[in-house]
Amino acid sequence: MKARIRACPGGTSASKTISILLYLIHRAQSDEVPTLTSVVSESVPHLKRGAIRDFKNILIAHKYFDPKRWNATDNIYTFETGSQIEFFSADSPDKLRGARRQRLFLNEANNVHFDAFEQLEVRTKEFIFLDWNPSNEFWYYTDVKIKRDDVEEVTLTYKDNEALDEEIVKAIEQRKNRKGWWQVYGLGQLGEVEGKIYKGWSILDSIPEEAKLVRRGLDFGYSNDPTAVVDVYRWNGAFILDEVFYRKGASNKQIADVLLLDESDEIVVGDSSEPKSIDEIRSYGVNIIGATKGKDSVRFGIQYIQDQRIFVTKRSVNLIKEYRNYLWMYDRNGKPLDPPKPESGLDHALDAARYAIMSLRSRKRETSSDDYDKGIQEFLQNTEQAIHKKGLGVPATNYDDYNQAILDNFLERGS
């Protein structure tokens, strides 16, 4: 590619990011005069789990990486030639308006605002790479491609990635019958992915001070899937989701250590399909219960969450990725299943969030008054058992006040 703006839209597993980084590393290693290259993405967490990780893996695999040349504070690598590659986020105004550079790589450009691109572009001397999955139209199509004469575009797909594992190729091609998905992620063409489950969530820089932690969700994984922990906050009538943990191979003791780290005694709602794990984690002092499940509980939970205002912290990289790629399943003829069923595989943090949010719903609105009153009476008649099981303990002066306090706690928590 020779133009100033080098656009690389494409499908999944097309090696867009890896290939661009390989090229930028090669240029930095070949410079006769030192240059500065900036790699920019939507947030620092996104960079650390994406481009920075890929960059280091490339250098290590080729035996180029020298730890002494990596500035971990500023995320800058200095090559033997004196050239540098730096990594920073598009949500840093001082960086956007800071030093000039020779080269720029805007990673997953569709998640970066147009004004950030403009601030970076006017401070870049040589060329600019953009990459993204073309799941929807954004500023590149409306303000760059059709309005400038210095743009070159190449579309990449999984077939351009000669190093791709055959099993991944098969998994991608299994979705050929899904027209919208295949157009975007298979063929790398601009489209609108059909069947996206959640829409309209907003990203927050951080958790506001006035937000209140009300629940913690836990989805178990180990070898093939990650364990996910998501904290749920209430804020101005909305929920804030904050990814706390997302990792494969975590033991129950390690999970418990994570949950006890901030000394929060808020109830943790875990996947009830693993009661032994819940019991073991409880034995370490974690206030944990199993999620309530039943017929259509997943679909009903999704519907409930769709009706809420949801915010996600920008550090919740895996949760954001799941949100953007959580889709309804389609049959072999390309039609949605009836009843609807979500795809599994990229839903671990979403499941954790769903367990937590669904445990906060008031049961009173969903049962008859007689059933509700009966449930309350059964709860009060088994006070000590309920306290032990739910971890509820409140100060009281007499038995009636004690029962009333427990009832208030019970109703407040909606558990």
Q: Quick one: average pLDDT of 187-194?
A: 82
What is the pLDDT, as a whole number, of residue 199?
Answer: 87
What is the pLDDT, as a whole number, of residue 224?
Answer: 86
Residue 312 has pLDDT above 90, yes or no: yes
What is the pLDDT, as a whole number, of residue 364?
Answer: 43
Order the strands of the 288-290 sheet from edge to edge: 202-204, 310-313, 238-247, 227-235, 212-219, 268-270, 288-290
* Residues 397, 398, 401, 404, CA torsion sign: positive
Q: Which residue from 233, 237, 239 is spatially nearest to 202, judged by alpha carbons? A: 239
Question: 27, 39 in Cβ contact below 8 A?
Answer: no
What is the pLDDT, as a whole number, of residue 211?
Answer: 96
Is the backbone of residue 20 left (phi > 0), alpha (psi -120 to 50) or beta? Answer: alpha
Q: Quick one: average pLDDT of 250-267?
A: 92
Q: Which of 4-8, 287-291, 376-380 holds the top average pLDDT?
A: 4-8
| pTM (predicted TM-score) | 0.70
Determine which of 78-82, 130-134, 394-398 has the lowest per-residue pLDDT on average. Answer: 394-398
Q: Give SS3 for 30.
A: helix
Q: How far apart are CA 399 and CA 282, in angstroms?
A: 28
Q: How far apart are CA 395 and CA 378, in angstroms?
A: 21
Q: How far apart are CA 347 and CA 302, in angstroms?
A: 12
Amino acid sitting at position 371: D
Tens-place pLDDT, residues 333-349 = 667 787 888 888 889 99
Q: Which two tokens stand for residue 156?
A: 């990449």
Q: Give SS3 for 335.
A: coil
Q: Quick one: average pLDDT of 153-171?
A: 95
**Token pair 């970066």: residue:** 112
Residue 151 has φ and ψ, to the nearest 5°, of -115, 135
Q: Which residue from 5, 23, 195, 233 is spatially nearest to 109, judged by alpha carbons? A: 5
pLDDT-derived band at 127, boundaries 50, 70, 90: very high
Q: How far apart are CA 156 and CA 247, in angstroms?
A: 30
How do strand 310-313 and strand 202-204 relate by DSSP bridges?
parallel
Residue 146 neighbours by CB under 8 Å, 6+ apart: none
Tens-place pLDDT, residues 225-243 = 999 999 999 999 999 999 9
CB atoms within 10 A of CB 386: 16
Helix ranges restricted to H, 166-284: 166-173, 179-181, 252-260, 275-283
Question: Computed over its alpha carbons, how large is the radius of gyration of the chain?
Answer: 25
Q: Quick one: average pLDDT of 354-365?
A: 78
Question: 361, 305 in Cβ contact below 8 A?
Answer: no
Q: Quick one: average pLDDT of 119-141?
A: 94
Question: 211, 234 in Cβ contact below 8 A?
Answer: yes
Amino acid sitting at position 8: C
What does pLDDT average to over the chain? 87
CB atoms within 10 A of CB 246: 23
Cα first-last separation, the chain: 59
Question: 314, 203 in Cβ contact below 8 A?
Answer: yes
* Environment class of 369 (CB within 10 Å of its CB; exposed 0-12, middle 13-18, buried 19+): exposed
Q: Give SS3 for 397.
A: coil
Between 321 and 255, the more confident residue is 255
Percent of the chain with pLDDT over 90: 68
